[in-house]
Amino acid sequence: MTSSGTGSPHGSDELSDQQRSEIFAAANAPRDAKGYPRKARAPIPKKFVIWAVAAIIFLGLGGQIAQHFFQSYGKVPKTSTTTSPSLTVTPTTIPTSSTLTSLESYIGVKFIGSAKAHTFTLKTQSNKKWSLDAQKGKVVVLTFYNSICNDVCPVLGAELRQAAQKLGPADTNVEFAIVNTDPNRRSVSLESRALSVPGLSTTPSVVFLTGSVTKLDAVWRAYGIRIIVGAKASQVAHNNAIYFIGPSGALVAYATPFVTESTSGVFSLSAPIIHRYAQGIAATASSLVK
């Protein structure tokens, strides 16, 4: 999944394309045993790798720089890899596959425990502060995609819209929260493609959330969302997840959205599949409403 655009228009906490290119060029320059350039690339000492990773973490440079490092010196997992929640869950009564509804089974719901969901505060498309803690008493369906809607957005957004429509009276007890996954395009508004393309601009129960790279990175890490930034600022990819947070703030369940990607990078699903997935989201959220 990629998103377009260049430069670092949002401040000093982002790298420009030129800076990224220089970092990549320096990281990939062939060196001999003494550190001088040579034609063949020298092996990277294991101790150096360990030290560099530790330095990156210690300096708090966040997921973007770490991803650049692993892209230069190791293998990056495919973006379709399912990432399990990073929270430690508390054992609880977990429904078996035989007790799940057919709709919950269809979207692959996994009930994961009753640990408190990682709280965070971001800004909405209306530039209002939104806090997960402030949603106590509501079920929160937490999802992730980018602000310019060139990833899973057209499919997942349509599913969220239909799910909100199907909830009926329970709609006021369910909040759909979408966290921006693009560190390069963090400005959002009511007209943002993330809302307009899937028809969510007039859905009151949907908020599209964004903030500084630091704040977004903390949410991505807490919920196992891997953001991969390429050599150019326009190259951004991420894995997908839907979390269901109960009225008490407990992280109850998650599912993994699925889409079909064309050779040109367009994500889609047939209308019947989108409709059924939306039913599954609505059924799971409704089952958690008290």
Q: Is the pTM of this model over 0.85?
A: no
Q: What local confidence, expressed as pLDDT, does residue 101 receive?
A: 74
Q: What local confidence, expressed as pLDDT, does residue 81 receive?
A: 34
Among 225, 227, 216, 131, which Cα is nearest to 177's?
131
Per-residue pLDDT of 163-195, as tens digits, reads: 999 998 778 999 999 999 998 889 888 889 999
Among 78, 107, 87, 119, which Cα is nearest to 238's?
78
Q: What local confidence, expressed as pLDDT, does residue 23 receive?
A: 53
Q: What local confidence, expressed as pLDDT, does residue 20 receive?
A: 54
- Residues 175/140, Cβ–Cβ less than 8 Å: yes
User: Which residue stretches of the chain have pLDDT < 50?
Assistant: 1-12, 39-42, 49, 53-98
Among 157, 207, 213, which Cα is nearest to 184's?
213
Q: Which string of DSSP letters, residue by residue, matches 33-87?
A: TTS-B-SSPPPPPHHHHHHHHHHHHHTT-HHHHHHHHHHHHSPPPPTT------S
Q: What local confidence, expressed as pLDDT, does residue 75 receive?
A: 36
- Residues 261/105, Cβ–Cβ less than 8 Å: no
Q: What local confidence, expressed as pLDDT, does residue 266 receive?
A: 82
- Residues 40/30, Cβ–Cβ less than 8 Å: yes
Rounded CA separation 141/288 (Å)? 11
Q: What local confidence, expressed as pLDDT, does residue 18 receive?
A: 61
Domains in the chain (CATH in brackets) are: 1-290 (3.40.30.10)
Rounded CA separation 268/253 (Å)? 25
